[in-house]
């Protein structure tokens, strides 16, 4: 059986690198793209790429990496011209809610200009399945929990969230105009080994081990739907096997926000078990065998009190539901962290 050619953008990122390994394990032909920018320490991204290369060399899998960005139209066109991928998984983006307040233009360039460049290449090369990263942040000011894909997401509270909502709309227009099957995945607080240094697990772990105060925003009255990396990767992988198709029962008078008359779908991918931030810190303390020093602070601009994913649509679509408990996931994360940063 001929393997699909799969392009993964953001291949040196947290989710991207884990996904690449999963695809290679299945014998897929994988092309990776990442600009290795300095939003956080590029050495971590380079270490992820080394892990991928070690696996690729040992298994003789087909893996090719390009250091470039979605904003580089000529480079992107060359990659598509050379490989003509069957499946494109877009995980390249400028991430981070708080950073978007200080550096708005980087989000416009990466998340809007870059994504439009990618959509154009998907159109030009008749990509059979486009999967793209959205975010739970699109739910913005919504108070109704759990967050459902059929809810309105028209009131974002950060520029980052706005760009992710825009990605969903842009993908829908290309799906409608050019018949590109598009699946958007709204990730809910992904954590685990090889995670991002700007996210709570890594920040808290570093502070706990260095005996430095942890900044606990909203005085600890926060809940997050922490989702383990392996569960997220499995969800993406299964979506690779099932391109979006039209909803023949779509009602234009009463539209379902998660489907369309075009081959387009939107899914939440979360653990559906929101955990209070203070409980999350307790589990980290148990994993590292140390007590955290907590500094309680008010809510930050652009943040939300709680996230909670309703995931029945994804479960019905791919017959999979994230289920890794926080205790198991944090234990794996802590072991990786201690090993990676032991020097």
Residue 1: the pLDDT is 46
DSSP code of residue 126: T
Tokens coding 169: 């709309």
The answer to the question of residue 201 being in a domain is no
Active site residue 99: no
- Whether residue 77 is contained in a domain is answered as yes
Predicted confidence (pLDDT) at residue 2 exceeds the cutoff of 80: no
For the segment 94-135, what is each residue's pLDDT rounded down to a tens digit?
Answer: 776 666 777 788 888 899 999 999 999 999 999 999 999 999
- Its pTM stands at 0.95
- Between these two residues, 339 and 94, which has the higher pLDDT value? 339
In a domain? residue 343: no
Domain that holds residue 257: 5-188+229-270+309-322
Domain membership of residue 119 (yes or no) is yes
CATH number of the domain within which 262 lies: 3.40.50.720
Say which of 40, 125, 139, 160 is annotated catalytic: 160
pLDDT 10s digits, 24-72: 999 999 999 999 998 889 999 999 999 999 999 888 789 999 999 999 9
- Residue 132's nearest CA partner among 24, 225, 240 is 240
- For residues 325 and 227, give the distance between their C-alpha atoms in angstroms, rounded to a whole number: 9
Has residue 343 got a pLDDT over 70?
Answer: no
Number of domain units in the chain: 1
CA gap 212, 259 in Å, rounded: 46
109 falls within a domain: yes
Lowest mean pLDDT among 57-61, 135-139, 217-221: 57-61
Is 194 part of a structural domain of the chain?
Answer: no
Burial 98-108 (b: 16+ CB within 10 A, else e): ebbeeebebbb
Task: Tell me what percent of the residues of the chain surpass a pLDDT of 90.
Answer: 81
**CA 151 to chain CA centroid, nearest Å:** 20
Would you call the peptide bond into 197 cis, given omega within 30 degrees of 0 as the criterion?
no
DSSP strand E in the chain: where? 5-9, 29-34, 63-67, 87-90, 129-135, 182-187, 190-191, 213-217, 223-224, 227-228, 264-269, 275-276, 293-297
Q: Give the pLDDT confidence score for residue 97 in this predicted structure.
A: 66
Give the model confidence (pLDDT) of 272-290 as tens digits. Answer: 999 999 999 999 999 999 9
Q: Which two tokens stand for residue 139?
A: 């739910």
Examine residue 95 and state whether it is found in any structural domain, yes or no. Answer: yes
In a domain, 210, yes or no: no
At 314 the pLDDT is 97
Using the predicted structure, report yes or no on whether residue 195 has a pLDDT greater than 90: yes
Residue among 117, 252, 112 at smallest CA distance from 176: 252
């Amino acid at each position: 059986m001929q393997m699909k050619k799969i392009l993964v953008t953001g291949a040196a990122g947290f989710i991207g690198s884990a996904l690449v390994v999963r695809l290679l394990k299945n014998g897929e032909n994988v092309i990776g793209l990442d600009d290795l920018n300095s939003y956080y320490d590029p050495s971590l991204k380079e270490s992820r790429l080394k892990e991928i290369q070690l696996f690729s060399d040992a298994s003789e899998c087909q893996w090719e990496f390009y250091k470039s960005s979605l904003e580089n139209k000529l480079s992107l066109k060359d990659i598509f011209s050379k490989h003509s991928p069957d499946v494109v998984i877009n995980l390249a983006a400028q991430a981070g809610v708080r950073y978007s307040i200080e550096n708005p233009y980087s989000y416009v360039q990466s998340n809007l200009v870059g994504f439009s460049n990618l959509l154009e290449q998907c159109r030009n090369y008749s990509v059979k399945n486009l999967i793209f990263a959205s975010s739970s942040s699109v739910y913005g000011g919504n108070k109704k929990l759990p967050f459902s894909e059929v809810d309105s997401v028209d009131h974002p509270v950060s520029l980052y969230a706005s760009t992710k909502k825009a990605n969903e709309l842009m993908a829908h227009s290309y799906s409608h105009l050019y018949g590109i099957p598009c699946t958007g995945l709204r990730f809910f607080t992904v954590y685990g080994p090889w995670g991002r240094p700007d996210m709570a697990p890594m920040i808290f772990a570093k502070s706990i081990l260095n005996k430095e105060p942890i900044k606990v925003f909203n005085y600890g009255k926060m809940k997050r739907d922490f989702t383990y990396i392996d569960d997220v990767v499995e969800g993406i992988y299964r979506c690779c096997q099932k391109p979006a198709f039209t909803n023949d029962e779509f009602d234009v008078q009463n539209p379902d926000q998660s489907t369309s008359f075009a081959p387009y779908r939107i899914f939440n991918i979360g653990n559906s078990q929101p955990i209070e931030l203070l409980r999350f810190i307790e589990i980290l303390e148990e994993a590292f065998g140390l007590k955290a020093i907590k500094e309680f602070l008010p809510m930050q601009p652009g943040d939300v009190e709680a996230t909670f994913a309703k995931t029945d649509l994804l479960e019905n679509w791919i017959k999979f539901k994230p289920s890794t408990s926080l205790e198991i996931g944090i234990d794996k994360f802590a072991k990786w962290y201690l090993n990676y940063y032991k020097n």
